[in-house]
């Protein structure tokens, strides 16, 4: 694959106002692109001006969704250093998703080098206002013009960057989540643990139906019994019940979040018992009824730590911790962002400095 040539953009876009940053609406001046063919493997890595891409209308990605993506962030520290958070975990997961979608693996170290080079070039785009960062979106698309159902023979691996603020309009305040009883996100043996577009496309209907009633997202139950908690569309979910933390165990249909893994490590480091196991939503309902559901929160790259103030489940409404941010959620948010922005010790060597 070799070195990564850079073609600089002749124009510089206007940067958005940092205090009004939305999630994922503006993109920087450059992007990374690399091609694949069965004959050449991955080749022609390059950084070039951010631009539209031209694909044949028969490209497989448009028809059968053979595509995967990742999400990670670059953080600007007070002394102007640039931090990535556990990028190797994202690249490992990218290749697990690639495997599931029959997409050829990408050299993980090379992909991290490409991301570092692109982020370094776009350093001026990393916002510095509290809670903001530069979201990094690596993705792979299948580009072969063929409408038979088969793995593509050609691909592109692309990385784009977007300065972002909070994912939810609630910011770091508690969100309301509706437990979804009709639609399912994933089934055993399906693509639930891969980060692929189809999972997100399949989530839109349920999401749309609850959005009008003030719910930020839906909580997915398992696809077979519709009983066990899986995840929220853009984050993994945790509960604090009677002092103990529980989160659904990874079962093949839940996305293995990097933030999820980091949260579990931090909680154990602080001495909490963390149980990864099957959790029926009915158990959450009963714990709430008995006054034992102390906190609930989501964890994800985009969402960071997002306290959950209310669940609706069929005709029931469960208000958690009076709709306020709980102690554990707050400590996790502060510690995790502290490590990411370099204001807290990094006991696990998670930070990669660019």
x-marked contacts with ligand COI along 124-143 as a string, rule CB under 6 A: --------------------
Distance, CA of 168 to CA of 308 (rounded, Å)? 12
For ligand COI, the closer of residues 27 and 272 by Cβ is 27
Number of residues that bind ligand COI (CB under 6 A): 6
For ligand COI, the closer of residues 141 and 287 by Cβ is 141
Q: Which of 192, 248, 300, 342 binds ligand COI (CB under 6 A)?
A: 300
Three-state DSSP class for residue 262: helix
Q: Which of 302, 308, 318, 320 binds ligand COI (CB under 6 A)?
A: 302
For ligand COI, the closer of residues 50 and 200 by Cβ is 200
| Cα angle value 208/197/72 (rounded, 5°) | 100
Q: How far is the CB of 131 from ligand COI (least distance, A)?
A: 15
Subset of residues 154 to 213 that bind ligand COI, contact rule: CB under 6 A: 200
**97 belongs to the binding site for ligand COI (CB under 6 A):** no
Q: Which part of the chain contacts ligand COI (CB under 6 A), choosing from 11-19, 143-151, 182-190, 300-308?
A: 300-308
Q: How far is the CB of 259 from ligand COI (least distance, A)?
A: 7
Q: CA torsion sign, 97 to 103 to 105 to 110? A: negative
Q: Which part of the chain contacts ligand COI (CB under 6 A), choosing from 54-62, 169-177, 296-304, 309-317?
A: 296-304
**298 belongs to the binding site for ligand COI (CB under 6 A):** no
Q: Which two tokens stand for residue 246?
A: 């529980």
Cβ–Cβ < 8 Å for 230, 241: no
**45 belongs to the binding site for ligand COI (CB under 6 A):** no
Subset of residues 52 to 71 that bind ligand COI, contact rule: CB under 6 A: 71
Closest residue to ligand COI, Cβ-based? 71
175-179 and 154-164: which strand pairing? Answer: unpaired
Q: How far is the CB of 70 from ligand COI (least distance, A)?
A: 7
**301 belongs to the binding site for ligand COI (CB under 6 A):** yes
Q: Which part of the chain contacts ligand COI (CB under 6 A), choosing from 13-21, 48-56, 299-307, 316-324?
A: 299-307
Q: How far is the CB of 37 from ligand COI (least distance, A)?
A: 28
Q: How far is the CB of 86 from ligand COI (least distance, A)?
A: 12
User: DSSP state, 306?
Assistant: E
The full DSSP string for 76-128 is E-TTS-EEEESHHHHHHHHHHHHHHTT-----HHHHHHHHHHHHHHTGGGS--
Q: Which two tokens stand for residue 104?
A: 């050829």
Distance, CA of 9 to CA of 141 (rounded, Å)? 24
For residue 220, give every residue at least 6 positions away whose Cβ sits within 8 Å of its Cβ, in sequence order, or none: 180, 184, 185, 186, 203, 229, 230, 231, 232, 233
Q: Which part of the chain contacts ligand COI (CB under 6 A), choosing from 95-103, 298-306, 334-342, 345-353?
A: 298-306
For residue 194, give every residue at least 6 positions away whose Cβ sits within 8 Å of its Cβ, in sequence order, or none: 68, 96, 97, 100, 101
Subset of residues 205 to 264 that bind ligand COI, contact rule: CB under 6 A: 234
Cβ–Cβ < 8 Å for 132, 74: no
Q: How far is the CB of 25 from ligand COI (least distance, A)?
A: 12
Cβ–Cβ < 8 Å for 296, 308: yes
In the complex, which residues of this chain contact ligand COI (CB under 6 A)?
71, 200, 234, 300-302
């Amino acid at each position: 694959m070799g070195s990564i040539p850079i073609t600089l953009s002749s124009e510089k876009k206007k940067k958005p106002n940092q205090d009004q940053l939305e999630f994922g609406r503006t993109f920087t001046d450059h992007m990374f692109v690399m091609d694949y063919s069965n004959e050449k493997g991955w080749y022609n890595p390059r950084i070039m001006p951010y631009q539209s891409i031209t694909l044949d209308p028969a490209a497989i990605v448009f028809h059968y969704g053979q595509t995967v993506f990742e999400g990670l962030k670059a953080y600007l520290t007070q002394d102007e250093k640039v931090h990535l958070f556990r990028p190797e975990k994202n690249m490992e997961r990218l290749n697990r998703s690639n495997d599931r979608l029959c997409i050829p693996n990408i050299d993980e170290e090379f992909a991290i080098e490409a991301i570092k080079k692109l982020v370094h070039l776009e350093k001026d785009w990393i916002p510095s206002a509290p809670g903001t960062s530069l979201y990094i979106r690596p993705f792979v698309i299948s580009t072969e013009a063929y409408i038979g159902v088969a793995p593509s023979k050609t691909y592109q691996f692309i990385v784009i960057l977007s300065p972002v603020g909070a994912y939810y309009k609630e910011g770091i305040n508690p969100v309301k989540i509706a437990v979804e009883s009709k639609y399912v996100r994933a089934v055993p043996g399906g693509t639930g643990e891969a980060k692929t577009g189809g999972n997100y496309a399949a989530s839109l209907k349920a999401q749309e139906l609850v959005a009008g009633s003030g719910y930020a997202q839906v909580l997915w139950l398992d696809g077979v019994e519709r009983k066990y908690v899986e995840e929220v569309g853009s984050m993994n979910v945790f509960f604090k019940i009677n002092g103990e933390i529980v989160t659904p165990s990874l079962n093949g249909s839940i996305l293995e979040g990097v933030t999820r893994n980091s949260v579990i490590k931090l909680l154990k480091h602080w001495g909490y018992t963390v149980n990864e196991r099957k959790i029926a939503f009915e158990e959450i309902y009963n714990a709430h009824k008995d006054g034992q559901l102390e906190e609930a929160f989501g964890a994800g790259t985009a969402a960071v730590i997002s306290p959950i103030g209310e669940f609706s489940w069929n005709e029931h409404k469960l208000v958690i911790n009076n709709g306020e941010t709980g102690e554990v959620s707050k400590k996790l948010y502060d510690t995790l962002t502290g490590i990411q922005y370099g204001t807290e010790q990094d006991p696990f060597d998670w930070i990669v400095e660019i």
